[in-house]
Structure 1
Amino acid sequence: MPTQLKENQILHSAATLPGTEYPAEIYARISSFELWKSYFTQNKFINTPQYLGALVDVIRRQGFHCPFHLRHVAPDEIQFGSNYREGICHGGLNSRQRAVWLELSRFQGERPDREMRIYAPEAVTDFALLLRGRYVKFIGSEYAPSPEDQAALYPIRHENLQKLSFPDGAFDAVVVNDVLEHVPDVDLCLSEVARVLRPGGALITTFPFAMGNPESLIKARLTEDGIEYLDEPQYHGNPVDPKGSLVFEIPGWNILRRARASGFSSAEMVYETSLAHAVAGGGFSGIFTLVARR
């Protein structure tokens, strides 16, 4: 699949899944809800169990090529799980994280690993350890809300995405894996990430995405009196907090407008399904990744 599509281009591979008319690869860069609606209306197969099932069935039989480890992964080396977005795991990466890695490597291009300055708000995960092993200028952190939590976390770095400690233009790329939904003020977070990126730098991030909604779904908000719950409290796993992390919002397509308003020159949702690299979603066939350029 070509890696340098222009904004609002959509490509289906000529190759199909065996015994079907479904494309083996989908790669789309979409900058508006209207374009997504038009595309989905004409290609509703991407949200069918038949397509996702056919895709995963081939991966189960033939394995895939890992774009990070650069080798073929045999079927008996894969841990599938029931949620393919978080499953199809091998070598410290799941399906969603391979989609993130593919976007990071496309952004990096031919630039040497040793020159890339990358930040991620995770330090103890397998993904963070892989980045630390490849990029000498990688910095990872975790969030610790109190001085006691920060002392317990030491020497792992503490950072707050709403008030980063880094200087302006410090990084080439910021990679955020399923964290934005836990940030009380996403707009402030986006502004801070834009601030610490160099001109031309990129934010590459995934999150539970309300792909059918033009606006975000607000679950809770932080007020002067504490947390106000607008829906049943929802928590996701946190590698440094057994209680998990509260979900404040599920971003919708307005996240693109909000990113542009926060200092990014462009923002788009990348939608990718890949038989070659085992990128598959947890309902929809593919993975949504927000890519915003400073």
Structure 2
Amino acid sequence: MQAGIRPQLMPGEKVLALHDLQRSYTSFEAFRPELADLLQQGSLLGECVAVTQTLGLLEPLTGEHIPPEALQIQGPNYRESLVANGLLSRNRAVLRVLEQACGSLDALARQEVYLAEALSGLALWLQRRLGSGSLVCSEYLEGAELAGSDLLHQDLCALSFPQARFDVVLCNELFEHVPQLEVAFREIARVLRPGGRLVATCPLAFGQRESIVKARHNMETGLPELIGEPERHGDPIRPVGGSLVYRIPGWEVLDQLRAAGFAEARIHHMASWKYGVLGSDLPGVLVIEALR
């Protein structure tokens, strides 16, 4: 617990306001006027975490109360480090969006869901609760250092699924690694049924419209062309080399989704010590949602 925080006392008004805060934006122009205030609210993260450490959290979709002793906090970036039932803060933000869209875990289980990951805590959580009948999980296996024979390989830029196969597509921490993101968006739109939804997280350049480009895909060679020093993120099937970052998407990602065939696209900012959805610079987590 951080020094100077006394969670046994009633939280202040500003911390109470973050018990379950959600705002949605369809453009950077709508988000920009609120950015300074959100960054100031980020200074309250320590107090929010202290409340969660005292009360525990309520898991989205299941409604399970996870007691304080079952929480793990593995660092100051709470988006990645606040762990409960194998889920990260950003995972619970995705579940919160799904809860609001579907209403219940039973309703979600009646839909066809594609999760573009298979070895994560979220994948295991969904597999236990949805089962194989309504959930398809995959990994991108090209260049994998570790891969089980039972893993399904899928390339977001060339999905093997038929048109209108799924009701929900979930992509977490993938968009920054996709060589041709616009192609991937068209493929996701193709495999979604009318009215289906994409829910995703990724590192976002939330203070600007333009993406931060780290590498470009060479159409002739199929290889990346680096811009500056390469950046790689951890990957469970590439524990040594990691996955190359092509870009940190900016708010232009919403226009790219609409151009790919989505009828609506928005970014939610979700912050909640009640649900254990907390961030790092911002008080909460940014979640992309697009409707087919």
SS of alignment partner, residue 199 of structure 1: strand
Task: Give the superposition deviation at 1:40.
Answer: 2.2
> Secondary structure in 1 aligned to 2:119?
coil
- Where structure 1 has 5 or more consecutive residues not aligned to the other structure, the ranges are 1-16
| One-letter code aligned to 1:188 | V
* Alignment partners' CA distance in 1, 2:162 and 2:224: 30
Q: Which has the higher contact order (CA 8 A, sep 6+)?
A: 2
Worse-matched range after superposition: 113-122 or 194-203: 113-122
Match of 2:110 in 1: 115
Query: How many correspondences in the alignment?
Result: 274
- Which range is displaced more, 60-69 or 113-122? 60-69
Alignment partner, residue 82 of structure 2: 88
Match of 1:100 in 2: 94
Give the AA of the match of 1:229: L
Residues 238, 44 of structure 1: alpha-carbon distance in 2 compared, 3 angstrom cutoff: closer
**Higher deviation after alignment, 172-181 or 101-110:** 101-110
Q: In structure 2, what is the Cα distance between the partners aligned to 1:60 and 1:202?
A: 33
How many Å apart are 1:279 and its aligned residue? 0.4
Q: Does the CA contact (< 8 Å) of 1:113 and 1:134 recur in 2?
A: no
1:180 aligns with 2:175: yes
3-state SS, counterpart of residue 238 of structure 1: coil
Contact persistence 1:150–1:158 (CA under 8 A): no
TM-score between both structures, scaled by the size of structure 1: 0.88
Distance in 1 (CA, whole Å) between partners of 2:88 and 2:13 is 25
**CA distance, structure 2, for counterparts of residue 44 and residue 164 of structure 1:** 38
Higher strand share: 1
Q: Report the more deviating stretch, 21-30 or 254-263.
A: 21-30
Residue 250 of structure 2 corresponds to 252
1:30 paired with 2:20, answer no
Tell me what 1:144 maps to.
Answer: 141
**In the alignment, what sits opposite 2:286?**
288
Distance in structure 2 (CA, Å) of the matches to 1:152 and 1:185:
24
Q: Contact (CA 8 Å) 1:215, 1:251: kept in 2 or not?
A: yes
Q: 5+ residue gaps in structure 2?
A: 1-9
Q: Greater shift after overlay, 173-182 or 120-129? A: 120-129
> Structure 2: how far apart are the matches of 1:84 and 1:44?
15
CA RMSD of aligned residues (A): 1.9
Distance 1:79 1:62 in 2: 14
Any idea what the Cα deviations from partners look like across 1:35-76, whole Å, max 9, x if unmatched?
1111224554223x2x11121121122211112442222212
Q: 1:57 aligns with which of 50, 56, 61?
A: 50
Q: Structure 2 CA distance, aligned partners of 1:68 and 1:196?
A: 25
Residue type of the alignment partner of 1:191: R
Partner SS for 2:205: coil
SS in 1 for 2:91: helix
Conserved 8 A contact 1:237-1:244: yes
